Structure 1
Amino acid sequence: MANSRSNEFFRGVRRELPLQLGVAPFGMIYGVLAVHAGMSPLAAQLSSSIVFAGSAQLVIAQMLGAGGNPLVVALTAVVLNVRHVLYSASMAPNVAHLPRRWRVPLAYLLTDEAYAVAIGRYAESRDLSGPDYRHWHYLGAGLTLWTTWQLSTLMGVLFGAQLSPAWGLDFAIPLTFIALLVPSLADGASRVAALTGAVASVLLFAMPLKLGLFCAMLVGIAAGAAWEVFTGGGKPAPNAEGTRA
């Protein structure tokens, strides 16, 4: 295959497309739940455009709907998305040569699925006889994911606006997180973190300013890290697969 911008771009699109089977339903769920948590349709859609992070968006919707303090909501979203710092550190050597007009939009598009496809391409060999266009592959993957997320959120927002609040969809937020969490519990540390965080969230539920969830997250992370230290590091189970957050 010839080394060109368009070939790399559409190769990234093709590699990203199968992953959208899991992304689209999640975006629709977020759109429905955001509207029923009290967010306006415009705010719900802008959240997908600005925050662009599924798990963080669900937490934001839930905490704002419960009257959470905006600062606490922001801190919780930061903790949930701290993994992107690791993604950035891993990707940085591959894009350091690019001008700022490239690095800024690529950083915005750096999410779980886009990272997986892009870093896989950078791990492959390239045609050394011509320019390195692998950032176009990254762009194709990122834009595919972004487009799917915006459209699926819009569908959820439009659908959610038609549903009566009497349906009581609040329960769907924790159920969605449980569905995302369970497949990722591949080792002792993650299971200890999840169990400890769950217990802490119940015990700390009555904290002022809705700080209970944020503190429970920190307790869970600390418990998982302590387990790693005392057991010498856990090994993930074979065939374990992650999900989007």
Structure 2
Amino acid sequence: MKLQTFFKGVRDETPLLLAVMPFGVIYGIMALEAGLTRFQAQSMSYIIFGGSSQFVASKLFAESTPWSIIVLTVVMVNLRHLLYSASVAPYLKELPLGWKATLSYLLTDEAYAVTINHYQKRPDDRYGHLYFLGAGLILWLTWQMSTAAGIYLGKMLPSNWPLDFFLPLTFIAILVPSLNNFPAIAVALTAGICSIFFYGFPYKLGLIAAALAGMTTGFIIDMRRRRP
């Protein structure tokens, strides 16, 4: 049962990897163009393990931005993970600290998407953390390998390949399956529209503001539905 749950996480995560791989390749190419060494570029994938923040950090490095600003910006970009953590925390509260630390490192957009869907369908699954582990590990391995491919093989790829097109596809694949009821659609529309209006916020805070707007919408709808 334990292994079955682990490999189910791997299986459910696999479709998303088709869009993650080109994203990793693009990062590897961009990191070298920004002036990072191969070791630095790969180490960033090990340490940060966050595509969006790695792109931002590489761009700032290329512009000779002070390290303090780079670190602060990366933190701001990754603030959305606080929302992910709050969402999955009730299902992981009984786990030892070591498990929580491991899963927090593997908590990314794609891993969260399949994991929270699993927990919502099976909230009492005692091996749900193994599902999370399977989804997170296969994503981690894919990200490291695709980063390496971009670093070592990127110059061999045709320049007209639209690799950057796969990035929005990843998030579409994450979002669409969850839009199965009115509250979810309302939250997604609110957050999407607000993200356009808040795009110019400094330090990428527009993403957090849009997420909070979506959450507020969901909260209001839920409260209205609960009224007798």
> TM class, shorter-chain normalised?
0.7 to 0.9
Do 2:7 and 2:134's aligned partners in 1 also have CA atoms closer than 8 Å?
A: yes
Residues 127-142 of structure 1: pairs in structure 2 closer than 5 A: 132-142=126-136
Matching of residue 54 in structure 1 with residue 54 in structure 2: no
Inter-partner Cα distance in structure 2 for 1:47 and 1:180: 22
* Rg (Cα) greater in structure: 1
Uncovered stretches (5+) of structure 1, i.e. residues with no partner: 164-168, 170-174, 198-214, 235-245
Inter-partner Cα distance in structure 2 for 1:57 and 1:83: 15
Inter-partner Cα distance in structure 1 for 2:208 and 2:102: 33
Opposite residue 6 of structure 1, the aligned amino acid is L
1:119–1:58 Cα change, 3 Å = same
Matching of residue 217 in structure 1 with residue 204 in structure 2: yes
What SS does the corresponding residue of 2:198 show, helix, strand or coil?
Answer: helix
Q: Please state how far the C-alpha of 1:51 moved relative to its aligned partner.
A: 0.2
What SS does the corresponding residue of 2:121 show, helix, strand or coil?
Answer: coil
What SS does the corresponding residue of 2:98 show, helix, strand or coil?
Answer: helix
What SS does the corresponding residue of 1:217 show, helix, strand or coil?
Answer: helix
Do 2:5 and 2:130's aligned partners in 1 also have CA atoms closer than 8 Å?
A: yes
Inter-partner Cα distance in structure 1 for 2:65 and 2:54: 14
Indicate the residue corresponding to 1:154 in structure 2: 148
Inter-partner Cα distance in structure 2 for 1:24 and 1:95: 29
The one-character-per-residue Cα deviations of 1:207-242 (angstroms, maximum 9, x if unpaired) are xxxxxxxx3634x4698699x6xxx969xxxxxxxx
Indicate the residue corresponding to 1:8 in structure 2: 5
Q: Please state how far the C-alpha of 1:120 moved relative to its aligned partner.
A: 1.1
Q: Please state how far the C-alpha of 1:83 moved relative to its aligned partner.
A: 0.4
Aligned CA-pair RMSD: 3.4
Normalised to the residue count of structure 1, the TM-score between the two structures is: 0.70
Inter-partner Cα distance in structure 1 for 2:194 and 2:217: 8
Uncovered stretches (5+) of structure 2, i.e. residues with no partner: 176-187, 219-228
What SS does the corresponding residue of 1:22 show, helix, strand or coil?
Answer: helix
Indicate the residue corresponding to 2:184 in structure 1: none
The one-character-per-residue Cα deviations of 1:136-162 (angstroms, maximum 9, x if unpaired) are 1110000010000000000001024x5
Q: Please state how far the C-alpha of 1:180 moved relative to its aligned partner.
A: 4.1
Indicate the residue corresponding to 2:28 in structure 1: 31
Inter-partner Cα distance in structure 1 for 2:5 and 2:28: 32
Inter-partner Cα distance in structure 1 for 2:211 and 2:17: 32
Larger helix fraction of residues? 2
Over 6 Å off, 4+ runs: 181-185
Normalised to the residue count of structure 2, the TM-score between the two structures is: 0.75
Matching of residue 94 in structure 1 with residue 91 in structure 2: yes
1:107–1:224 Cα change, 3 Å = closer
Do 1:8 and 1:134's aligned partners in 2 also have CA atoms closer than 8 Å?
A: yes
1:105–1:216 Cα change, 3 Å = closer
Of residues 75, 80, 97, the one that matches 1:78 is 75
Q: Please state how far the C-alpha of 1:54 moved relative to its aligned partner.
A: 0.4
